Structure 1
């Protein structure tokens, strides 16, 4: 019979050791790693017991010390501790329902105390055929019944076993044939592979009407943002969602204090192994709710072009260039890592993707950008002209087949900008931003384009938003924002931005240029000239080359080249910069 031990029963030290050991198992289990609020509550109850608490903790202590409520919390009017302890009971029951346990942790009904429940042994499932076992004879050996045909039970079992093996082999062969016929397309990559499926759990919250309303508003903000990205598919919230298992699950919780502020916790889990791959916590003021704009960076970092989900997929399959999603993930990895080594593979797999989905605006947009990059490296050559023509044609196709998508509109915006059509580029780019205001990459490049088209204030704001959304891989937008800060006289702010640029971008010519300008304006002219000499080496230009000539090797827009060249001259960098 199961029995429960409490703090008043003998064996308290033994029970405490069990509590500590069970807690370690629970806190590392998938159920609790994806429920950070309940995990913290369990930790508080366990620590209260192990630190000598002889009675259950009070609701006030649970609310203020475990659940983040303020000191003016009133348990008489707010049932949040009781609700969360009830959820903890449910989670403990779920965990132990799947575990063969001899002792387990419980929180008895009507109490906030952690206790140990024991039973004599874990449940044992009867083995197959146990009820049909032959009776033993007087010697204790099992009797071996015989048949009129003279065959012993052993012979019959051997004969039956052979037939079972034959049946099993036939069944496996049939199953293998069926599996191969239904999965061959996937094995041979004849079909473009889909994007990962993301499920959003209903945020955990308190039981008051305000808390429930805030939970719904938080879920709405998450869904509104995540649904706008191309490299993640959002699982629907209705009953139809049951049919499609998700690849990732986003759990959220909101712990609100009576006077307004709240802690928001987001946890992203990979469902294949129930592993948490990302989490973040936000402390929001009352004025930031129920809009929840403060969590926009989390949305961008989860679902962005090289966000958490894409990086997780690439890390698990680093050599997968299959058509469809794997290829798009590798394309974004190549862009963010500034690594042209895989460009041919990416070009090939993007074309293979379009062979299978000829009108996919996302793949068309990606291949268009890749070909524009080829044009930039080969300008004023026949190969460059060919790349430019194909890039524009791909952009037009992306727009024709995805006029209502951010990918389609931004592909057309880029083609217009590179064709020096600012009016058309701004119109299309603004449309793309309206379709996805959460995309750090889109905001960054629209900031660049607006600066090039003379809209300096709007361009600077978009560059800043790009960094606010995701500063992990800022690249050219961050470097350009540093130049904007430097032009405004804020050299310290400019250098702070440059210091956060990741290593791959520090090899880019834009970084070398802007850092040299900022260093010179800070009075570090020798170091600035070292950077300029590196830029000359990168562009293969002589020491006495005009700044405009150097900058044209990696810049496109004449107005931007003119402003940057003027800054180089004004800072005094090239006047005495000898060749190394």
Structure 2
């Protein structure tokens, strides 16, 4: 297919600009309408080098010639608002537009995407992305700058701060949806080039900084995470350790790993902070990364009320961000859950497990070094009955990112249902020790361990810590351990709740356990206790019915 000539494309961009400006779905101030028109026209006229914060402020916003972008952040603030408004427009009134105008982070230069040209190029190249037919509508995940740490009296540990910062960056970059920068690569907000002449990204979401003090045989290390947009201190931690010169490298690496595990995993500080704003925002304002956050909100408790919204938003995300591996992995996990829990997909007619498998393989293809891609693949394999492939995928993810506590807890859970206690328990313990905010659903592994080993009071405490009201296995195992403790009245009440949620489940329980590759010993124990509670409930009913007759 021959590409349209530049003049034709310019006309289409201008037509698209007018559609945006006339649309009620483009909700911005008149100043931001002038902002958008200015950057589009300057870009089309080949004057990209003139699109700077200073020119925007003086030509569009009416600032004086004394305007200083280092003092006045007006252009940066308005650019963020304009980007959000464009995202909203293309999710609503502009969803079918033939041209997409965006202002990617990193400069104020407009970029233009022609979806049908990109599709034609991909088709002509056998499905691979070709040329520059498309650009991302928004960066997928949060961005963080790791600033140099201040050193005070650190001469006794030469290079400690520099090595610590390097290990922070290495650890953070293992989370492939997190955009990690060093201070030397982050520009000022006006989009100017840095001192070395390298292009620099802009508008990072977080800044990680701190200080290191070496004195009196101790190392005091303080780290602070700052929200770059608001200046708020999001998280802070201090590490006060004895200083032994022969051990300072091990100390440095251990502390860096601890910081990474606290900040970067799905339920860590960064993601939790970003997720706070999601529930209160209009759905059409959600970006691809925020769709992923909806998934993690669902994943925390397997709340069925959140499932369909998370699925719909992730489907939009993979359609608009076809190279976003994290969204593919999360959507794969959702479809695996749809199959394993029998969740409704509305009018969809496809096989959810097949869809989950394709998405997981695509996630691995897009991000072969992402532990979360292998998390999705390992989960698909497990519930497809391929236990060996599942363990292989999960172990691969663990090797790729030993800081990802999510892969540790998933791997530990899989070992638990196979009664591999020597592998399961250390993995589960390590995961919750590193990240206590892990979803409580994974505590099922601890329950099974104590239940099968005869520590029934401990097992009951573990199951009571699980927050997953829609999952049948929670009341199922709770009634089982209550039966072991001889608390039949409570066990029968729990059975009643189970049957109210999932009528007829006892008849299909054995087939369900087998389909989930649960060890036969666990199956026999839990279902044996279930049968005992059912028998007790039936006897209670019979006795309740016969007692009045006897009295007569």
The TM-score with structure 2 as length reference comes to 0.63
1:407 to 345, 369, 372: 372
- What CA distance in whole angstroms lies between the structure 2 residues aligned with 1:492 and 1:265? 41
- What CA distance in whole angstroms lies between the structure 2 residues aligned with 1:172 and 1:249? 28
- What CA distance in whole angstroms lies between the structure 1 residues aligned with 2:415 and 2:335? 22
- What CA distance in whole angstroms lies between the structure 2 residues aligned with 1:496 and 1:201? 43
SS of equivalent residue, structure 2 residue 468 = helix
- What CA distance in whole angstroms lies between the structure 1 residues aligned with 2:293 and 2:526? 37
- Tell me if the contact between 2:153 and 2:214 (Cα under 8 Å) persists in the aligned partners: no
1:8-157 equivalences in 2 (<5 Å): none
- What CA distance in whole angstroms lies between the structure 1 residues aligned with 2:223 and 2:481? 38
1:198-209 equivalences in 2 (<5 Å): 198-209=144-155
SS of equivalent residue, structure 2 residue 437 = coil
Match of 1:557 in 2: 516
Q: Deviations over 1:495-525 (max 9, x none)?
A: 5544554xx4355333333434444445544
Structure 1 residues 193 and 514, CA, compared in 2 at 3 Å: closer, same or farther? farther
- Tell me if the contact between 1:269 and 1:277 (Cα under 8 Å) persists in the aligned partners: yes
- What CA distance in whole angstroms lies between the structure 1 residues aligned with 2:326 and 2:392? 19
Structure 1 residues 256 and 273, CA, compared in 2 at 3 Å: closer, same or farther? same
Match of 1:258 in 2: 216
> In the alignment, does 2:221 pair up with 1:275?
no
- Tell me if the contact between 2:416 and 2:448 (Cα under 8 Å) persists in the aligned partners: no
Moved more, 202-211 or 323-332: 202-211
- What CA distance in whole angstroms lies between the structure 2 residues aligned with 1:575 and 1:256? 68
> In the alignment, does 2:312 pair up with 1:352?
no
> In the alignment, does 2:317 pair up with 1:332?
no
Shift of 1:465: 2.1
- Tell me if the contact between 2:353 and 2:380 (Cα under 8 Å) persists in the aligned partners: no
SS of equivalent residue, structure 1 residue 266 = strand
SS of equivalent residue, structure 2 residue 408 = helix
- Tell me if the contact between 2:477 and 2:526 (Cα under 8 Å) persists in the aligned partners: no
Moved more, 333-342 or 556-565: 556-565
- What CA distance in whole angstroms lies between the structure 2 residues aligned with 1:277 and 1:522? 45
- Tell me if the contact between 1:376 and 1:554 (Cα under 8 Å) persists in the aligned partners: no
Match of 1:103 in 2: none
Structure 1 residues 376 and 239, CA, compared in 2 at 3 Å: closer, same or farther? closer
SS of equivalent residue, structure 1 residue 304 = coil
1:233 to 179, 184, 202: 179
Match of 2:251 in 1: 290
- Tell me if the contact between 1:217 and 1:290 (Cα under 8 Å) persists in the aligned partners: no
User: Aligned pair count?
Assistant: 405
Structure 1 residues 569 and 507, CA, compared in 2 at 3 Å: closer, same or farther? same
The TM-score with structure 1 as length reference comes to 0.61
Structure 1 residues 293 and 526, CA, compared in 2 at 3 Å: closer, same or farther? farther
Match of 2:206 in 1: 248
Structure 1 residues 552 and 298, CA, compared in 2 at 3 Å: closer, same or farther? farther
Match of 2:87 in 1: 186
1:509 to 447, 455, 472: 472
- Tell me if the contact between 2:478 and 2:494 (Cα under 8 Å) persists in the aligned partners: yes
> In the alignment, does 2:328 pair up with 1:367?
no
SS of equivalent residue, structure 1 residue 269 = strand
- What CA distance in whole angstroms lies between the structure 1 residues aligned with 2:238 and 2:455? 31
- What CA distance in whole angstroms lies between the structure 1 residues aligned with 2:273 and 2:143? 13
SS of equivalent residue, structure 1 residue 272 = coil
- Tell me if the contact between 1:448 and 1:477 (Cα under 8 Å) persists in the aligned partners: yes
- Tell me if the contact between 2:287 and 2:317 (Cα under 8 Å) persists in the aligned partners: yes
- What CA distance in whole angstroms lies between the structure 2 residues aligned with 1:472 and 1:291? 24
Match of 2:142 in 1: 196
Match of 2:405 in 1: 440
Structure 2: gaps (5+ residues)? 1-28, 42-81, 91-99, 101-135, 189-199, 542-552
Moved more, 467-476 or 513-522: 513-522
Q: Deviations over 1:29-54 (max 9, x none)?
A: xxxxxxxxxxxxxxxxxxxxxxxxxx
Structure 1: gaps (5+ residues)? 1-168
Structure 1 residues 282 and 528, CA, compared in 2 at 3 Å: closer, same or farther? farther
Q: Choose 1 or 2 for highest CA Rg.
A: 1
- What CA distance in whole angstroms lies between the structure 1 residues aligned with 2:235 and 2:274? 13
Shift of 1:433: 0.9
Q: Deviations over 1:398-427 (max 9, x none)?
A: 223333332333332222222211222222
> In the alignment, does 2:377 pair up with 1:377?
no
Structure 1 residues 346 and 482, CA, compared in 2 at 3 Å: closer, same or farther? same
Q: RMSD value over aligned CA atoms? A: 3.7
Structure 1 residues 281 and 498, CA, compared in 2 at 3 Å: closer, same or farther? farther
Structure 1 residues 563 and 171, CA, compared in 2 at 3 Å: closer, same or farther? closer
- Tell me if the contact between 2:513 and 2:523 (Cα under 8 Å) persists in the aligned partners: no
- What CA distance in whole angstroms lies between the structure 2 residues aligned with 1:284 and 1:483? 38
- What CA distance in whole angstroms lies between the structure 1 residues aligned with 2:164 and 2:473? 39
Structure 1 residues 385 and 271, CA, compared in 2 at 3 Å: closer, same or farther? closer
Structure 1 residues 202 and 519, CA, compared in 2 at 3 Å: closer, same or farther? farther
SS of equivalent residue, structure 1 residue 559 = coil
